[in-house]
Amino acid sequence: MEPKIQEVITDKEQMRQWSRTMRLHGKTVALVPTMGYLHKGHLSLVEEAHKLADVVVVSVYVNPGQFSPSEDLSTYPSDFNGDIEKLMNIPGGVDAVFHPHNLYDYSSNQDTIETPNVQNGIEGGVLSCLEERGLGHETWVRVERLEKGLCGKSRPVFFRGVATVVTKLFNIVEPDFAIFGKKDYQQFRIIQRMVRDLDMPIEVIGSEIVRDADGLALSSRNVYLSPEEREKALSISRSLLRAKSSFKMGETNCRELKNLVIQAIDDAGGEIDYAEVVETESLMAVEEITRPVVFCVAARFGKVRLIDNMEIHV
Q: What pLDDT sits at residue 65?
A: 87
d(CA 277, CA 293): 7
Question: What integer pLDDT is reported at residue 301 of this predicted model?
Answer: 98
pTM: 0.90
pLDDT at 120 over 60: no
Element (H, E) at 180: strand 177-181
Quick one: CA dihedral 87, 88, 89, 90, positive or negative? positive
Model pLDDT for residues 255-281, shown as the tens digit of each residue: 999 999 999 999 999 999 999 999 999
pLDDT surpassing 50 at residue 3:
yes
Please state whether beta strands 293-301 and 304-312 pair in parallel, antiparallel, or not at all (unpaired). antiparallel
Average pLDDT, the chain: 90
189 or 3, which is more confident: 189
Res 196 pLDDT > 80: yes
Q: Which long-range contacts (CB under 8 A, 24 or more apart) does 18-27 make?
A: 18/96, 19/57, 19/173, 19/174, 19/175, 20/174, 22/54, 22/55, 22/95, 23/174, 27/53, 27/54, 27/55
CATH class assigned to 5-207: alpha beta
User: Which amino acids are annotated catalytic?
Assistant: 42
Percent of the chain residues topping a pLDDT of 90: 82
When mean pLDDT is compared across 20-29, 66-75, 76-85, 162-171, the lowest value belongs to 66-75
pLDDT at 134: 55
pLDDT number for residue 126: 36
Task: Please say if the pLDDT value at position 114 is more than 70.
Answer: no
CA distance 202 to 166: 12
Average pLDDT over residues 87-92: 93
Give the confidence band of 117 by pLDDT, cuts at 50, 70, 90.
very low
Residue 20 above 60 pLDDT?
A: yes
Task: State which H helix or E strand residue 250 sits in.
Answer: none
How far is Cα of residue 120 from the mean position of the Cα atoms in its chain?
Answer: 24
The pLDDT assigned to 72 comes to: 66
Domain boundaries of the chain, sorted by first residue: 5-207, 222-312
Q: What is the mean pLDDT of residues 37-44?
A: 97
Report residue 112's pLDDT band, with 50, 70 and 90 as the boundaries: very low
Pick the CATH number of 222-312 from 3.90.1150.10, 3.30.1300.10, 3.30.43.10, 3.40.50.12780: 3.30.1300.10
Task: Give the model's pLDDT for residue 290.
Answer: 97
Mean pLDDT of 284-306: 97
